[in-house]
A = this chain, B = another copy of it.
Amino acid sequence: MLKKYLITPGPVSVPEQVLLDMARPMIHHRTPEFEEIFKEARNGLKKVFKTEQEPLILASSGTGAMESAVINTLNQGDKVLVINGGKFGERWIKICQAYGINAESVTIEWGRSVNPADVKAFLDKNPDTKAVFVQGSETSSTVYHPVKELAAITKDMPETLLIVDGITSAGVHDTRFDEWGIDILITGSQKAFMLPPGLAFITLSQKAWNMVEKSTLPKFYFNLKTELKNQLKNTTAWTAGVSLIIGLKTVLSMMEKEGIDNVFKRHSINAEATRAAVKALGLKLLAQDIPSNAATGCFLPENIDGKAFVKYLRDKCGVSIAGGQDHLAGKILRISHLGYHDAFDTITAVSAIEMGLKKFGADIEFGKGVAAAQSVLMGEMPSI
């Protein structure tokens, strides 16, 4: 018997009520019934992103929404700055290059957060920069980049957008779209929103919509003006992801019931507990500056083959956590805290790692990581 625990940084477990709601008989998307659901979902998203702007719901993965951000606001030959400290920073560069955009980058070691002063210095030297691209949380390096501080820099630059891939930071870290002055925020359904993959959300500031008017890059499916026009009428330009949007409505009502700030707090405490656990086990954290609350990365002991370790926990013990990507492949673990994840998921992950490390020959004292996690989690145990 292999009971499965999905503790990877997306996709994540889907709550039972959401699965049940998505399993209900199909309805048509050009109906008042669906429009009512769509409206509720749009309103719910505004609360999560803390915005009065219009979050658009796309039938695509997060990468589609990333591309839509580029092609709706920029023009061929534009200069942009990409904060590149991991696999998803690199993706911004690749998308820009595909459209003939001049993507310069601040390159950061995997595990470091960007220093806003470096961005400021670049923009001071290059005032013609049309956009700064960043990951709120860089999933590959498990760091958080200081979105608020970056927004403070771009806020007063009328022709420079801050475009945030919030795929693993929106719904995880408090992200105040309007207050901070973010220009574009993107996320996907399979992370904090604990849905199956297939939806992406993108919100644009007025400044970004102004840039949309001037953008001449070719687009059709991802034409955000077309989407906005439709979504203001509670429908979609193209066929909507009906079941996922039904599930989204349920997720958003769960989040509202929990309280969005409590959702952030839950991610934060599970992340803090996991960091305490891995440190107690003598494993070095990957994040050196501001760790992401989406996932915790840590180095394995050097003599352990990380790929075999992750495979063993997943295939033999049923516990899926992620390994490293690119040059960190086989060297690190990434333990998710995303979405439908509670204290006992954290304890499951930590206890599985303890037993797995022992099995792989490491000198591990059972319960040491778990105890460190419990000490942190205890702080958020409900009152009697």
Contact = CB atoms under 8 A, between A and B. Distances in A.
This protein's copies in its complex: 2
Given A348-B348, A367-B368, A384-B360, A3 B375 contact: no
Interface stretch (A174-182, A242-250, A310-318): A310-318
A90 interface: no
Given A344-B348, A366-B375, A1 B381 contact: no
A37 interface: no
Given A312-B382, A319-B344, A348-B348, 14 more contacts: A1-B254, A3-B15, A3-B342, A5-B344, A308-B384, A317-B343, A347-B347, A347-B348, A351-B374, A354-B374, A360-B384, A366-B378, A367-B371, A368-B371
Interface string A1-42: 101010000000001000000010000000000000000000
Interface size class of A (residues with CB under 8 A): 35 or more
Nearest to A351: B347
Interface of A: 1, 3, 5, 15, 23, 254, 258, 263, 266, 308, 312, 316-319, 340, 342-345, 347-348, 351-352, 354-356, 358-360, 365-368, 370-372, 374-375, 377-378, 381-384
15 contacts: A3-B345, A23-B23, A308-B384, A316-B383, A344-B348, A344-B351, A351-B351, A355-B377, A356-B381, A358-B378, A360-B384, A365-B371, A366-B367, A367-B374, A370-B370
